[in-house]
Amino acid sequence: MKLILLGAPGAGKGTVAKLLTELDGSVQISTGDILRGAVAAGTKLGKQIESLMKSGDLVPDDLIMDIMAQRLQEPDCEQGFLLDGFPRTIPQAEALKSLLEKLGIELDMAVNLNLEREVILDRLTTRRTCSNADCQAIYNVKSNPPKQEGICDKCGCPVIQRDDETAEAISHRLETYNEKTAPLIGFYENEGLLLNVDAAGSSEAVLTAIGEKLGAR
């Protein structure tokens, strides 16, 4: 499948994407994971974007498009992909549209994970992430803690609170989402690709809604 996952930070894009990859071998492409990996590795790109990311600002569209134009042409994308955290602005959505046309790739749909602001805030402040850049497994201190406190179940590295998960950075990310990313819902509705899903329930309920819509096409 070839999907875009839309939704505010904390809506569950990453969790849903990881579950979907297990269904048919589609790959998860998380721009946030790619960028955090670059910061952790201290690459030239990483140094350029470190402070933007820490404060919860977006990375410039042209940097993101360079990364994604390359990433979408890698062979593992042929089986399908789940775009998690991209596109995030109208210019990125427009650039993605022309890129996919050029590559002859057709999207199945854009899934919007809907969630109330209060639930989002609660999820983000209790979220923890594996500090290993190659793992980045997601946990929640209330609903999904690692088996051993502070240690990743998958790789044994420390599980931490992300730099951009301070109260200040979180509220800035939500503002940025409302201003820059929420307009994508209308964009994909116009494209006839939008599926709205209630993200307050279980991840399984989200998967079922996506599966039904894919089956109906």
Q: Which does 83 bind (CB under 5 to 8 A by kind): ligand ADP, Zn ion, none?
A: none
- Shortest Cβ 208–ligand ADP spacing (Å): 23
Q: Which residue from 130, 170, 206, 210 is in contact with Zn ion, where contact means CB under 5 A? A: 130
State how far the Cα of 63 lies from the Cα of 95, in Å rounded to an integer. Answer: 12
130's contact among Zn ion, ligand ADP, none, with CB below 5 to 8 A by partner kind, is Zn ion
Burial class (CB in 10 A: 0-12, 13-18, 19+), 65: middle
Task: Report how far residue 16's alpha carbon sits from residue 32's, in angstroms, rounded to the nearest whole number.
Answer: 15
Task: Identify what 35 binds: ligand ADP, Zn ion, none; CB under 5 to 8 Å per kind.
Answer: ligand ADP
Round to whole Å and give the CA distance between 88 and 86.
5
Q: Which residues pair with 194 in a beta bridge?
A: 110
Spatial distance between the Cα atoms of 153 and 102, rounded to a whole number of angstroms: 41
Q: How far is CA 40 from the centre of its chain?
A: 18
Rg of the Cα trace of the chain? 17
* Residue 123 beta carbon to Zn ion: minimum distance, rounded to whole angstroms: 19
Binding mask 83-122 for Zn ion (x = CB under 5 A): ----------------------------------------
Separation CA 59–CA 61 (nearest Å): 6
Q: 95 or 165: whose CB is closer to Zn ion?
A: 165
Place of tokens 């994971």: 33
Q: Does residue 162 carry a catalytic annotation?
A: yes
CB of 57 to ligand ADP, least distance (A): 6
From CA 134, how far away is CA 68, in angstroms rounded?
18
Q: Which is nearer to ligand ADP, 134 or 212 (CB)?
A: 134
Helices (H), the chain: 13-24, 31-41, 44-55, 61-71, 90-103, 117-126, 167-176, 183-190, 203-216
Site membership for ligand ADP, residue 173 (CB under 6 A): yes
Q: Does 146 bind ligand ADP (CB under 6 A)?
A: no
In the region spanning residues 42 to 101, those forming contacts with ligand ADP, defined by CB under 6 A, are: 52-53, 56-59, 64, 85-86, 88, 92
* Secondary structure class of 199 (helix, strand, coil): coil
The only residue of 132, 140, 161, 196 in contact with Zn ion, by rule CB under 5 A = 132
Size of the site for Zn ion (CB under 5 A): 8
Active centre residues (catalytic): 13, 88, 127, 162, 173
Residues that bind Zn ion (CB under 5 A): 130, 132, 135, 137, 152, 154-155, 157
